[in-house]
Amino acid sequence: MAWRLAPVSWEGIAELQCNMWRWWDAVMESAKGAQGMDRIKLTVYILWQLWKARNKRVFQLESVDAKVIIDKAQQEWIEFEEATGPQPRGFESTEQERLSHHNWEPPMEGVVRINTDAAISAKMVRTGLGIVARNWRGDLVKVRGISRRKKGEAATEESLAIRSALDMAQAAGWTKIEVQSDCRNIVSSINAGNVQDCKLQTILEDIEALKTSFDSCIFSFVPRCENPRICIFP
């Protein structure tokens, strides 16, 4: 019933489900068409909501209306696209203006400085991660905002922001980076290699592993008032 209400359809591909290779080739070919990737992404969100509805029915004996499943999938897909899409025009100039209001000290030549921040909205049950990267000349080179609908804890989200910054830097091919965070405890834990909170252990171990892929990777604390941030929540 849910698929009948879904705004996407896969006519013809269902017939190929007995042959994995032909099915996969057909899916990949569809990605080349108009809005092909959007079609695939939305389908993934629908499948995820169907899985959650199935679990609720099996373990909690609760049924979820098909329309609710599709609406939820569309809502989460749209929110994700908005959070990870291109920044609005004028964003770079705004960030440059913010720099001029602070006594921003550039890193050493050849180093990319990455500022991270996290935000939690208990009212909207959302968390957001903000990442801003600048080179030694102060030029904005990359920005990322990640928003998720979930409850969060400050230390965990700040750690995730740093890990996401390293992922971004690695993907960009930067070899020398300096990561700044306004969460002193997390920065101290990373630099000391001492994890006292078991909830953070996996994330900090990921950070430890990721930093070995750079020629130089420095973590430093910066006061919140001096930490340039992205507006994560509207």
Domains of the chain (ranges, CATH numbers)? 2-84 (no CATH), 91-226 (3.30.420.10)
Task: Tell me: pLDDT of 97 over 70.
Answer: no
Query: What was the pLDDT predicted at 120?
Result: 83
**Of the candidates 183, 178, 176, 171, which has an alpha carbon nearest to the alpha carbon of residue 129?**
183
Task: Tell me: pLDDT of 111 over 90.
Answer: yes
- Using CA atoms, how far residue 69 sits from 45, 48, 53, 75, in Å, is 10, 9, 8, 10
Worst-scoring range by mean pLDDT, 8-12, 16-20, 97-101, 178-182?
97-101
Cα within 13 Å of Cα(179), Cβ side? 35
Task: Tell me: pLDDT of 126 over 90.
Answer: no
With vertex at residue 170, the alpha carbon angle to CA 168 and CA 172, rounded to the nearest 5 degrees, is: 70
SS3 of the chain: helix, strand, coil, percent, to 5 = 50, 15, 35
- Using CA atoms, how far residue 157 sits from 42, 121, 168, in Å, is 26, 12, 16
For 46, the token pair is: 């629908």
Q: How far apart are CA 35 and CA 139, in angstroms?
A: 33
**Of the candidates 101, 171, 113, which has an alpha carbon nearest to the alpha carbon of residue 139?**
113
Query: What was the pLDDT predicted at 76?
Result: 80
- The answer to whether the beta carbons of residues 134 and 112 sit under 8 Å apart is yes
pTM: 0.55
Query: What was the pLDDT predicted at 234?
Result: 47
Tens of pLDDT, residues 44-92: 888 888 888 888 888 888 898 888 888 888 888 777 766 665 554 444 4
Task: Tell me: pLDDT of 21 over 60.
Answer: yes
